[in-house]
Amino acid sequence: MNFRRSTERGIRSIPRLSLVAFIDIVLFLLLYLMLAGTLTPPESRISAGLERPAAASAKAPDLPPVFLSVVRSGSSVVFRIGQREVPNFDSVVLALSQSPKQGGVIVRSDPNALVGDVAAAMQAAKDAGFDRVSYAPTP
Amino acid sequence: MRFNRNNEMPEAGFDITSMIDVVLLLTIFFMMSSQFSRTAQRELDLPRQSGDAHPRPDGSADAAVVIDLEQDGRLSVAGRNYPLERLATMVAIDLQRAERTGSFLDVIVRADRSTPAAHLQRLAGALSAQGIASWRLATSGESHRSHSGASGQNGGEGS
């Protein structure tokens, strides 16, 4: 068997790979990734717990949690920390930052409130320095 | 004078080595930076909050179940609609399976910011009833602070 193909003047010919198909695939991948990548907006997350009424009453925490309620009437939204009404996001952050952090925050929402309001309440708690933020499914 | 020495004209060509280098570099960059899992997700107007200051403080998740919640309360995972109870059961089964294999599964809720919170409450209630203790709410990553002042207009950022 003769594996050595044609040799001219004693120099071995180097096998060459056709790059045409390779370049086609790479350019197609590049185009796809550029389109798919730029059309996807970046997202963030707010980590939260899910409050269970039965479990919450079963174990007594050292410090009671701070209850943050979101109530919406029409186009205006009001936050309540306990029974105290707080007018806007920055005031909520300020008020929560002065509260003890060990008990965490439980966010409750009025059924008329929007998801954006709930997210704002969770964000306010996070911005105030609370690690434990929970959402209560039922008011 | 003999200009034409030999009859074999050299074939004109250009060196494509540097072009392939650049194209491969760009391909690798886009492959690393793109997130393919979002291609099956619904296009939603997420709440305009900056999110966690320190993302994922409790260790990295091995995988995530992403639940899309639309304005009318429809729930979907990977583009497929599911009724609430079935969805909650599916997520619970996935979490148990992940727990058995020693991995950690994230539950991410992507909800439109104009969705009534009643839908979110129902979803949270169903997940909580299945024993799911933590979740993550997806936000757009941009802060709304620049237009704070009026109380909660423009579909609920509670500013």
Give residue-wise pLDDT tens across range B114-130: 999 999 999 999 998 88
CA distance B157 to chain A (A): 5
Predicted confidence band at A102 (pLDDT cuts at 50, 70, 90)? confident
pLDDT at B58 > cutoff 50 = no
Chain A residues within 8 A of B116 when measuring between CB atoms: 111-115
Q: A128 and chain B: CB distance < 8 Å anywhere?
A: no
Cα angle value B32/B35/B40 (rounded, 5°): 155
* B83 interfacial to chain A (CB closer than 8 Å): no
Asked if the Cβ–Cβ distance from B128 to A52 is below 8 Å, we say yes
Asked if B138's CB is within 8 angstroms of A45's CB, the reply is: yes
Mean pLDDT is lowest, of A31-35, A64-68, B119-123, for A31-35
Distance from CA of B134 to the nearest CA of A (A): 4
**pLDDT score of A100 more than 70:** yes
Where is B65: in which H helix or E strand? Answer: strand B63-69
| Interface residue A66 vs chain B (CB under 8 A) | no
User: Could you state, in order of their start, the residue ranges of all structural domains in chain A?
Assistant: 49-135
- A10 forms beta bridges with none
Smallest CA-to-CA distance from A123 within A68, A50, A86, A56 is with: A68
Q: What is the pLDDT of residue A27?
A: 86
| Residue/partner pairs of B71-79 with CB below 8 Å, 24 or more apart | B71/B112, B71/B114, B71/B115, B73/B115, B73/B116, B73/B119, B73/B122, B75/B123, B76/B42, B78/B40, B78/B41, B79/B40, B79/B41, B79/B42
Q: Touching check for B64 and chain A: CB below 8 Å? A: no
The distance of B1 to chain A (nearest Cα, Å) reads 31
DSSP code at position B74: -
Residue B130 corresponds to which tokens in the numbers above?
């299945």
Mutate to test the interface with B, among A22, A39, A50, A97 (most CBs of B within 10 A): A50
CATH class of residue range A49-135: alpha beta
Cβ contact B51–A88 (<8 Å): no
Cβ–Cβ gap A116/B122 under 8 Å: no
Query: Which of A61-65, A132-136, B34-38 ranks highest by mean pLDDT?
Result: A132-136
CB contact under 8 A, A47 and B113: no
pLDDT confidence tier of residue A11, bands split at 50, 70 and 90:
low
- Whole-number pLDDT of residue B112: 92
ipTM above 0.90 for this complex: no
pTM of the model: 0.70
